[in-house]
Amino acid sequence: MFTLLSLRWLYRSGLPLRYLAPGMAALISISAAFMPWLKDPFGTVYTGWTLPIYVGWYLHSRFLNYGVLCLCTALYSLLVCFARRPLLRLLQKSSWRSLAELLLKERYGWAGFFCCIPFLLFLLQYLYIDVQGINMIAQHKAQTLLIQQHLGYGLLSQRLPISPFTMDISTISGRFSLLANQASFGALIPLLAAGITWSYRQRALVPSSQRIIAAETTRERWGKRLIWLAIVLPFLCLLGRVPVADICEAAASNYLNAGNYEQASWWWDKALRLNPDIDQLTYYHVQRGQIRYFLHHDDVSDESIAYLAYSEYQHGNYETAYQRLFGVWTAHKNVSWVVNEIDQILARQAESKRPLGNVSDPEFTSSQEDSRALPALQLLLQIDPANVYGHYVIGRIDYELHAYVDCTQQMVFVAQAISNRDLQSSAYTYIGLSEAGQGDYVDSRTFLLKAIMLDPNYYNNTAREELSGLH
């Protein structure tokens, strides 16, 4: 709303077009900083001001975010706008005038490119650089999708279909599918500012036949090139290393598939040197373990054990895979890639028992199915107490077993641990049902009403049906 009012004021202010169009682009860039850019599957929404920029090598700072970057691009658009007359008049007797002319005067094309930088950096960060960030989103997405399978009703479909157990962030296509589902419209707003700047550039620049072109010496041309090179080269070196690391990863995987383990190891060394963050990912250690297992079969390491566990997991031997990896977790309880891998193994083992579902075999009752899945879920929470999926399914099983107090404890954790309104609605539904199971119909109605308030799109039929049945 603020942006629309500002644009309307600019349009009616009578400013010349050379000020109006870049001013509109600047306001749009500033407004992008306040809009949502990324939505975590657990419900947290990141605006430009709360989404940090990460360029690798563990360089994190909450003060360097996309809101600041959008503000800088807006400032550059305004400087280009006023560089034709007001700004250059101030610098008329200054030695900075030539530099200002080089960087600002009629640089509408560069202004449009700089407006695109927030969007391009956002893609580069989550497709190549911030592998830990995309891995965290993938873990949350997997848990969310697993919970949705047990809601008993459908939610809004995904933009690109993703399965919780086949999600692969080791490839660019896998990361893109995940990002396409979680990115928001705020990341696209800078492209609108760039379009306005570029469209104005065609009208602002006078044709060369009508301009008096000053003769430029070879020394001046090379001076300008060196200045631009000094500006652009550090960014290319800082940001370009990660796509190169991805190429090294692809080469390592190709050599690994061909059985050339020495070359695969060499390429993984190069990839790790260019992007140290991959050391936190499971697929890196699994492939390293495969190399060590075949090159040094007698040398048992954590990575070779992880490879053997992954092989067992791929063949459906979830219990064996867990037992192999449990020793690694015992020695490294705080290592994220070990915890993530055990989480996936135990979740797959639990889901293979089909908890909270019906099977075609009439010999099995629902309680028998749940009791078969419960040990894997309990182990999951022992290893990863923050796993929301484990708490939710155990809470549902507790409700089916009429352990209402335990169900309430699990669902309270789910409701407090995430801000996803759909999952919170389901959690409050079963808190309300547990209260009704204990005979407290007043509190039951309160929680069911809260579940309905969190479900404005009318997905949660369970809460509405149960509420209508209360007297």
pLDDT category of residue 6 using cuts at 50, 70 and 90: low
User: What's the domain range around 373?
Assistant: 353-471
Which candidate, 128, 115, 231, 122, places its Cα nearest to that of 172? 128
Q: What is the pTM of this model?
A: 0.85
When mean pLDDT is compared across 2-11, 165-174, 288-297, 452-461, the lowest value belongs to 2-11
Please give the pLDDT value at position 148: 92
Residue 138 maps to a domain: yes
Would you say residue 392 has pLDDT above 70? yes
Which alpha helices (DSSP H) does 45-158 contain, by range? 66-82, 86-90, 97-103, 108-124, 131-148
Residue 445 maps to a domain: yes
pLDDT per residue as tens digits for the range 224-263: 567 667 666 766 766 778 888 889 999 999 999 998 999 9
Which of 153, 176, 205 corresponds to the end of one domain? 205
Q: What does the alpha-carbon distance between residue 36 and residue 15 come to, in Å, rounded to a whole number?
A: 31
C-beta of residue 245 within 8 angstroms of C-beta of residue 274: yes
The fraction of the chain above a pLDDT of 90, given in percent, is 47
The CATH code of the domain that includes 447 is 1.25.40.10
pLDDT category of residue 367 using cuts at 50, 70 and 90: low
C-beta of residue 381 within 8 angstroms of C-beta of residue 392: no
Which of 149, 175, 205 corresponds to the end of one domain? 205
Burial of 217 (0-12, 13-18, 19+ CB in 10 A): exposed
The long-range contacts involving 221-224, CB below 8 angstroms and separated by at least 24 positions, are: 224/102
Which of 147, 175, 205 corresponds to the end of one domain? 205
How many domains would you assign to the chain?
2
- Higher-pLDDT residue of 101, 310: 310
Residue 331 maps to a domain: no
Please give the pLDDT value at position 193: 85
pLDDT per residue as tens digits for the range 92-125: 555 544 545 545 555 667 777 888 899 999 999 9
Q: What does the alpha-carbon distance between residue 156 and residue 133 come to, in Å, rounded to a whole number?
A: 24
Residue 215 maps to a domain: no
Please give the pLDDT value at position 397: 93
| Angle (nearest 5°) at CA 65 between 64 and 69 | 95
Residue 47 maps to a domain: yes
Would you say residue 466 has pLDDT above 50? yes
> What average pLDDT does the structure give for the chain?
82
Please give the pLDDT value at position 287: 93
Residue 221 maps to a domain: no
Residue 171 maps to a domain: yes
pLDDT category of residue 88 using cuts at 50, 70 and 90: very low
Residue 348 maps to a domain: no
Q: What is the enclosing helix (H) or strand (E) of 220?
A: helix 218-257
pLDDT per residue as tens digits for the range 135-160: 999 999 999 999 999 998 888 888 88
